[in-house]
Amino acid sequence: MSRKYARPGFSRRDLLRGVLAASAAGFASRLGIERLASAATARETTRRFVFAYFPGGWDQLLFLDPRDTEANEKRFDDSNRSTTLTETRYANLEGHNGFTPRLIKAGNLTFGPATEKPASPAPKLSKYFEKIAIVRGINMGTLGHEVGYRYFLTSKFPAGNTARGTSIASECAAQMGSSAPLPALSLRVESYNDRYPGQYSAMRVDSIDDLLQVLDRGKDLLERDAVEEALADYAKTGTSCDVNVYDRRGILSRMRGADSTAHSTLASQLAQRFRFVGSDDEASQKVRAQYGFGKGDAGSPGARAAFAAQAIKQSVAQCVSLVIGNGTDTHFVGNPNHADALHPGIAALAALIDDLAKSDAPAELAKATGGKSWLDHTTILCFSEFSRTPLFNQFGGRDHHLTSSCLLAGAGIVGNQVVGASGEVGMGSGRYDFKARRVVSTGGENILPEHIAATLLASAGLDPWTLRDPKPPIPALLPGGG
């Protein structure tokens, strides 16, 4: 290829990135969080991330942002709904499928009544309150499912329904320079990558069977060893210049990278570690009991959570995204049915946290950061695209509501605290003073998904200012305030 085709050493994009980085650093300094701006110096490369998505929009009154109907002279009693514009109807849960109308309090956290079934022997989320932080009053800025979903995935507001930017999972994997067989693995969650090499795009699978199909190749499809080696050698052969000149966005080289990863993944025989849904061996039975699903029930939230745990614990993937919840887009049903839809995902999340907390991390990881369990090396983000209205509609259900909450747990997150708040009337998005680290009635700003993404990155010492629309992390959630 002619020398005139050579890529210039410094492109306009590089220049823009430099200006953006300088601006972001200045912005951070003005906020008084200089240490966060230089967080990249303490970059962790061994951190694991789990992104657990509850599809459909959850009712936060039943989970992360409940109202205590007995407190403040029964301010949130349903009889005051005309002034609070909030109606809990918790009493409807009495005696329904093991739920009670009572809130679940643990440390500084309060969970809604769909979080746990008190008599159930399954792992309880509240048991791990010291590892959990809740962010409330997040302004999602949309009532559209796809928009809110993609906004949280990429921390960049979509253009129409179309996602922009890179999924935070891929962002984390790329910034860590993940060398895991699958840097990012996605079970039924969309994945985007608009600027990193192809190996950081999530391997997207629709079911555990699909993952097995990807991790394994049947004998009938294998050529003899010598031919497999020759095919692998051929795959590394470069394409001629007259083809490469049409490769405007580097897709040919990214395809070769993906092909190479597929070869190494097959060679590592990872499939054996994901046969817990249908196998009868002792380890598989133990996994099914731990996560509360039956043999063959691959589509249950428990099986999906177990899939995430296995991917983390077996070091198959470094960033795992999964649809952990069942659909909760319940416009026409009340609390009991919504709780039935919401709880299995929460129970699966509790089992996942319990599993990671009780599983020892490899010695080299423990030596690197001091954490003994897998939960000490894994950060979990739990989110939905938005929430449900605080008032019931004419059908006795709840519609879409702008203000939502999320849950962060595990490594790099200061637990046992609630950050932000929804409004006292109608649960609007609250204002939060990032510098004073408290909810304010005037001034401050809304907490947005951008803040959550920045916090996740900063929690592992990754650079939050590389995001397309960077916002500062939430200092209160970071050890030592960042």
Residues in contact with another protein by CB under 8 A are 4-7, 55, 146, 161-163, 182, 188-191, 193, 198-199, 201-206, 210, 213-214, 217, 219, 221-227, 230-231, 233-235, 237, 239-240, 243, 245-249, 251-252, 254-259, 261-262, 265-266, 296, 323
In the complex, minimum distance from the CB of residue 37 to another protein, in angstroms, rounded to a whole number: 31
Cβ-based nearer residue to another protein, 266 or 333: 266
In the complex, minimum distance from the CB of residue 308 to another protein, in angstroms, rounded to a whole number: 16
Rg (CA), the chain: 23
> CA angle at residue 156 from 138 to 459, to 5 degrees?
65
* Token output for 239: 């394409």
In the complex, minimum distance from the CB of residue 303 to another protein, in angstroms, rounded to a whole number: 14
* Token output for 144: 């559209």
Cβ-based nearer residue to another protein, 32 or 296: 296
Going from the C-alpha of 263 to that of each of 116, 185, 229, the distances in angstroms are: 43, 16, 10
In the complex, minimum distance from the CB of residue 226 to another protein, in angstroms, rounded to a whole number: 5
Cβ-based nearer residue to another protein, 163 or 406: 163
Is the sign of the CA dihedral 254, 256, 262, 268 positive or negative?
Answer: negative
In the complex, minimum distance from the CB of residue 29 to another protein, in angstroms, rounded to a whole number: 34
324 neighbors 54 (Cβ within 8 angstroms) = yes
Cβ-based nearer residue to another protein, 345 or 390: 345
In the complex, minimum distance from the CB of residue 359 to another protein, in angstroms, rounded to a whole number: 26
In the complex, minimum distance from the CB of residue 255 to another protein, in angstroms, rounded to a whole number: 4
Cβ-based nearer residue to another protein, 36 or 182: 182
In the complex, minimum distance from the CB of residue 460 to another protein, in angstroms, rounded to a whole number: 23
What DSSP letter does each residue of 220-284 carry, written as one string?
GGPPPHHHHHHHHHHHTSPPPHHHHTT-TTSHHHHHHHHHHHHHHHHHTTGGGGG-TTT--SHHH
Report the alpha-carbon distance of residue 77 to residue 246 in Å, rounded: 66
Cβ-based nearer residue to another protein, 361 or 382: 382
Cβ-based nearer residue to another protein, 34 or 229: 229
Run of H or E residues at 295: none
The dihedral over CA atoms of 169, 174, 175, 176, expressed in degrees to the nearest 10, equals: 90
Alpha helices in 329-418 (DSSP H): 335-358, 363-369
Report the alpha-carbon distance of residue 398 to residue 287 in Å, rounded: 35
In the complex, minimum distance from the CB of residue 219 to another protein, in angstroms, rounded to a whole number: 6
Residue at 53: amino acid letter: Y
In the complex, minimum distance from the CB of residue 409 to another protein, in angstroms, rounded to a whole number: 24
Torsions phi, psi for 48 (to 5 deg): -110, 150
Report the alpha-carbon distance of residue 482 to residue 474 in Å, rounded: 9
Question: Going by DSSP bridges, is the β-strand pair 132-139/403-410 parallel, antiparallel, or unpaired?
Answer: antiparallel
Cβ-based nearer residue to another protein, 221 or 363: 221
Q: Which residues pair with 58 in a beta bridge?
A: 387
62 neighbors 339 (Cβ within 8 angstroms) = yes
Torsions phi, psi for 105 (to 5 deg): -110, 135
Cβ-based nearer residue to another protein, 52 or 125: 52
Residue at 284: amino acid letter: S
In the complex, minimum distance from the CB of residue 33 to another protein, in angstroms, rounded to a whole number: 34
| Residue 242 neighbours by CB under 8 Å, 6+ apart | none
Residue at 269: amino acid letter: Q
In the complex, minimum distance from the CB of residue 259 to another protein, in angstroms, rounded to a whole number: 4
Cβ-based nearer residue to another protein, 222 or 283: 222
Query: Could you tell me which of 20, 16, 91 has the C-alpha nearest to residue 465?
Result: 20
Cβ-based nearer residue to another protein, 141 or 144: 144
Cβ-based nearer residue to another protein, 39 or 322: 322
Report the alpha-carbon distance of residue 459 to residue 172 in Å, rounded: 11
Report the alpha-carbon distance of residue 89 to residue 78 in Å, rounded: 7
Query: Could you tell me which of 60, 50, 58 has the C-alpha nearest to residue 111?
Result: 60
